[in-house]
Structure 1
């Protein structure tokens, strides 16, 4: 097994750049941190090209890695701290190929989908993706203005659920058109005079749900093209629900 001992190593320098969107797009790679995410990627047959591990982590997970046939590199704690995005990195990383967007673009898109309109908080994104996974949704579409799915904080927050359903990034208008081609109802999520209480909607396996920005809600241009706008009645004194909590309530009700 190859060893790298310096943060000045050229490969380490290149892999560190994968923490930025520009670096990921340049190399068509992204970096995963922690054994949980690395193992989820391996179990889901992701394009894991290199595994970087400290001796301690390799000893802990040697048996699980025994069938991994590609490159494993031993690193030290200094490099782990340099590559990591947490205060105390575990010491194991995977360098993974970015999936091709063309594969999904050419697919027939149907089923149940969560659409994220300008959602910026990684924690909220991760909670919604995990909840979509738990609710049995087909996929999540990251609209423009939503934090990138390969952002290290977003990757950690999703906790591997991104490997259990389809993730798309792009213009929500484009994807809403494709969903409408398949006769899927498009539900918005903003309280207004024309909104309907969510519990009046019959559960289905075919729908799309749009969740809007944490502070500003959905874009008006998206509200104008929804089939129906839904709201969750608040029985206490809170002004509103957290967007991820609201998404969870709606997804578990709408999904048959």
Structure 2
């Protein structure tokens, strides 16, 4: 059994480039057994598996397997303690549905990959139909995003969109737009009665929602905070709202 041990190996060097967004044109990396098993269950297009020799027997099916040393696996992984496997997957091809009739989470310019992944995972847990992320939001295929999502991108569609186009489609199709803000025009989220299709928009960690979103929203909502903190982490706020509106 050949084991790749050299960092200068061409395959290893090319694969490691997938840590950078600019090289993730067609493929991305996942690490750990949980995400790999989720990918298998979702019948994702697994292009190659990099694995330690003691785990080779755990990979079944027609998947190209490359055995590497622990040092090389550490090069390909992002975490400090990789679990013995890194897989390269083809990027899925997703298209925004022509008709929107469900419950959606919209993330506008979310910068932190951990926040992004956590909110997608929460939308998955709450049974939402899809997540839309703006062009300026973090990459969901960042390894930190992937760890935070814990495979939720295999369960529900995640679409990267231009906010202007998405808002126009939501308005045209009568999807109620709820946007979070601390402005004086917003109301307590507990006063909102949600029926029919809707989209919940969470804004940027520092700036909140844009003026465009504020102008297009059907309802501006906030979470009352009786304590002294000025704001909530956006992922925490999303969790409260996502479950309250189902």
TM more than 0.5: yes
- What is the deviation of 1:72? 1.4
- What is the deviation of 1:91? 2.3
1:62-101 to structure 2, matched below 5 A, reads 62=58, 65-66=59-60, 68-101=61-94
Report what 1:38 is aligned to: 36
Q: Secondary structure at the match of 1:224?
A: helix
Structure 2 residue ranges without an equivalent (≥5) = none
**Which residue among 40, 48, 51 is the counterpart of 2:49?**
51
Q: Deviations over 1:78-135 (max 9, x none)?
A: 110111111222220111001113xx23543331111111111122112211110111
Q: TM-score, normalised by structure 1?
A: 0.91
Q: Secondary structure at the match of 1:70?
A: coil
Is 2:174 the counterpart of 1:183?
yes
Report what 1:14 is aligned to: 14
Structure 1 residue ranges without an equivalent (≥5) = none
Q: Secondary structure at the match of 1:105?
A: coil
Equivalent-residue separation in structure 1 for 2:215 and 2:172 (angstroms)? 17
Equivalent-residue separation in structure 1 for 2:102 and 2:63 (angstroms)? 35
Q: Is the 8 A contact 1:110 1:179 kept in 2?
A: no
Report what 1:251 is aligned to: 242
- Computed over aligned residues only, the root mean square deviation of the Cα atoms, in angstroms, reads 1.6
Q: TM-score, normalised by structure 2?
A: 0.94
- What is the deviation of 1:176? 1.9
1:63-142 to structure 2, matched below 5 A, reads 65-66=59-60, 68-101=61-94, 104-105=95-96, 107-142=98-133
Equivalent-residue separation in structure 2 for 1:183 and 1:167 (angstroms)? 21
Equivalent-residue separation in structure 1 for 2:210 and 2:55 (angstroms)? 45
- What is the deviation of 1:205? 5.2
Classify 1:205/1:248 alpha carbon distance in 2 versus 1 (closer, same or farther; 3 Å). farther
Report what 2:189 is aligned to: 198
Q: How many residues align?
A: 246
Q: Deviations over 1:209-241 (max 9, x none)?
A: 111111111111111111110011112222221
Classify 1:181/1:228 alpha carbon distance in 2 versus 1 (closer, same or farther; 3 Å). same
Q: Secondary structure at the match of 1:194?
A: coil
Is 2:27 the counterpart of 1:24?
no
Equivalent-residue separation in structure 2 for 1:249 and 1:100 (angstroms)? 31
The structure with the largest helix share of the pair is 1
Equivalent-residue separation in structure 2 for 1:183 and 1:3 (angstroms)? 57
Q: Deviations over 1:155-199 (max 9, x none)?
A: 111111111111011212211222223211011100112112111
